[in-house]
Amino acid sequence: MLEVGEITIQEAHDGFKDGRFTAEELTSAFLKRIARWDKNGPRINSTMALSGTALEEAKALDDYFQEKRELKGKLHGIPVLVPDQATTKGIATTYGSAVAGHNVPDGDAFVVTKLKEAGAVILGKTTLSEWPTPGFSANGATASEFTKNPYNLDHGVRASSGGSGAAVTANFTILAVGEDTGGSIRVASSFCNIVGLRPTPGLISRTGFYSLIETQDTPGPMARTVTDCALMLDCMVGFDRRDGFMGLAEMVKGRLPQGGSYTAFLDRGVCMIKTARIGVIRQRFGPDSDPYCRAVNRVVWAAIDELRSERNTFIDVHIDDLDYHMNNLLTKLQRSRRDTTGPLISDPLMTKPYIPHAIADLPSTLYDIPDDLKKPSDGLIFREQRELKCEVNGLIESLGLDALILPDVQVPPPRFEDATNGRFMRDGEEYFPTNTSLATILHSPAISVPVGFTEDGLPVGMELIGRETQDQFLLELAYGIEKKIGKRRAPPAPL
């Protein structure tokens, strides 16, 4: 069997061109790994329904290459997994819920179509939390079985993109699509030692993609390297008039990315990180008095020390009332019921007679919010979001910063029992110490980059936050970090 190892897009394409293996053989190798390690053995449980036509589609790409002597697109023959919240033609799409267990869509989500047009081979679907809400990656469609962290099988991956993160790091695929509302791509990437980008919302369509909060959600790329992440982004962006929040994609059309690809100038990131001015949001590091937070802090500060040079600068920055903003300026309590119901009614890819047409009809009380927990109107929150964005942008400008950094999460990947033992409960509500909501509130791009492991061998990611539409610049900075400290490593045996 072909050993795929930590194969990249470029290495796969070189193999096709050199005749060392075909797209069909590569696809087969990944499917066999999934069968052996994800569905059996340690049973990572990162995937759900798998494609019954992936090998056939890969063979068609091989025939195309033999006839044309060229690759079909940037992702020719590259295996990709997509989360179970994206509709996929001919592949079951349950949104993580048993009530949609028989749903096999007639068409693909817009982003899945874009990936296929670039030559990607869709292997199947990844696990997520149900209807995909915050929490551990477990759902009713899989009898609430947890997705395991490939670095320690007693720990989870959390987040609705947890299956995608686990699948990429365990080498069950080269690329995976994630979805980020308040941090799912970045949390899962941090916990799985991979690169994950939350793009500027509005660059990638959500048509056929089940959204939790329409104004905050965005699909994004997840990969083992910054280069692969950037190449995947090339193939995901594009205007779609069916998505009412796609004005940004049309506005920047023709201007982004510079050089025709988000990879065009990645190399300059090596020099950029040597001279960059980075704002460190120290106030969102967890307290050293907490051993879990201390473990993460040690890794992130060690990475910052390793990145320091004679010419770059890491500056402590302070944002007034930041804890209040991050805890109160997300619109989940105001919008989640209406925004999750909307696609089930209006998106033809999701509207099926056996799928509930309103969250109120679901066999769950997850969205039933007591009056005493309801927050101010979303109009008031949007105004406060704009004020915070102006404050942060002013801070970046006045200090001449290239980006902001902080840990994605204040703690390492939690154990499964932490889902029920009350560890993450505060005042009767679940509280998980992530830092990812800041970029969400700012509507800024943000990327998680691997920066090391705790003494217990658990991955830690560091988040870079940029300005709106500066996704390419952020990828270049991330590339510089990756090349400087190189903290990606494969999971332990048997994976």
In this prediction, residues 358-369 reach a mean pLDDT of 47
Residue 132's SS3 state is coil
Measured distance CA(494)–CA(174) in Å, rounded: 18
Q: Tell me, what's the pLDDT at 438?
A: 95
| pTM reported for the whole predicted model | 0.92
Q: Tell me, what's the pLDDT at 364?
A: 46
List C-alpha distances in Å: 225 to 185, 280, 304, 393.
15, 23, 19, 28
Cα-to-chain-centroid distance, residue 128: 12
In this prediction, residues 113-122 reach a mean pLDDT of 98
| CA torsion through residues 231, 232, 235, 241, sign | negative
> pLDDT band at 214, cuts 50/70/90?
confident
In tens, the pLDDT along 424-445 reads 888 887 789 999 999 999 999 9
In this prediction, residues 112-140 reach a mean pLDDT of 88
Residue 444's SS3 state is coil
Q: Tell me, what's the pLDDT at 10?
A: 98
Buried b (16+ CB within 10 A) or exposed e, 267-277: eebeebbeebe
Measured distance CA(293)–CA(285) in Å, rounded: 8
List C-alpha distances in Å: 221 to 159, 225, 246, 388, 458.
15, 11, 18, 27, 22
In this prediction, residues 51-74 reach a mean pLDDT of 98
The strands making up 195-198's β-sheet, listed across from edge to edge, are 47-50, 121-126, 79-83, 175-180, 218-223, 195-198, 446-453, 459-465, 403-407, 277-280, 313-316
The proportion of the chain whose per-residue pLDDT surpasses 70, expressed as a percent, equals 88
List C-alpha distances in Å: 207 to 80, 109, 181, 239.
19, 6, 15, 11
Amino acid in position 175? L
Sort strands 277-280 and 313-316 into parallel, antiparallel or unpaired.
parallel
Match 């691997």 to its residue by tokens: 450
What torsion, rounded to 10 degrees, do the Cα atoms 480, 440, 242, 234 define?
A: 0
Match 């510079």 to its residue by tokens: 258
Query: 416: closest CA among 79, 238, 158?
Result: 158
In tens, the pLDDT along 454-468 reads 999 999 999 999 999
Asked if 310 and 274 count as a contact pair (C-beta separation under 8 A), the reply is no
In tens, the pLDDT along 388-401 reads 999 999 999 999 99
- Return the higher-pLDDT residue of 246 and 449: 449
Q: Tell me, what's the pLDDT at 372?
A: 46
Q: Tell me, what's the pLDDT at 213?
A: 75
Angle between helices 471-485 and 291-307 (to 10 degrees): 90
In tens, the pLDDT along 296-306 reads 999 999 999 99
Match 């004005």 to its residue by tokens: 247
- Class of the CATH-defined domain 9-485: alpha beta
- Return the higher-pLDDT residue of 183 and 379: 183
pLDDT at 333 exceeding the cut of 50: no
Q: Tell me, what's the pLDDT at 357?
A: 53
Residues 6 or more apart from 310 whose CB is under 8 A from it? none
Rounded (5°) CA angle 223-225-228: 65
Measured distance CA(84)–CA(127) in Å, rounded: 6
SS (H, E, C) 224-252: CCHHHHHHHHHCCCCCCCCCCCCHHHHHC
In tens, the pLDDT along 262-305 reads 999 999 999 999 999 999 999 999 999 999 999 999 999 999 99
Buried b (16+ CB within 10 A) or exposed e, 38-53: beeeeebbbbbbbbee
Q: Tell me, what's the pLDDT at 366?
A: 45
List C-alpha distances in Å: 251 to 239, 248, 255.
9, 5, 9
Residue 105's SS3 state is coil
Range 357-362 contact pairs with CB under 8 angstroms and sequence separation of 24 or more: 359/131, 362/97, 362/99, 362/131
Domain ranges of the chain: 9-485
Q: Tell me, what's the pLDDT at 352?
A: 63
pLDDT at 203 exceeding the cut of 70: yes
Measured distance CA(88)–CA(106) in Å, rounded: 8
Q: Tell me, what's the pLDDT at 425?
A: 84
Measured distance CA(453)–CA(171) in Å, rounded: 19
Measured distance CA(213)–CA(160) in Å, rounded: 13
Residue 373's SS3 state is helix
Q: Tell me, what's the pLDDT at 95?
A: 86
pLDDT at 35 exceeding the cut of 80: yes
Per the prediction, the chain carries an average pLDDT of 89
Q: Tell me, what's the pLDDT at 370?
A: 44
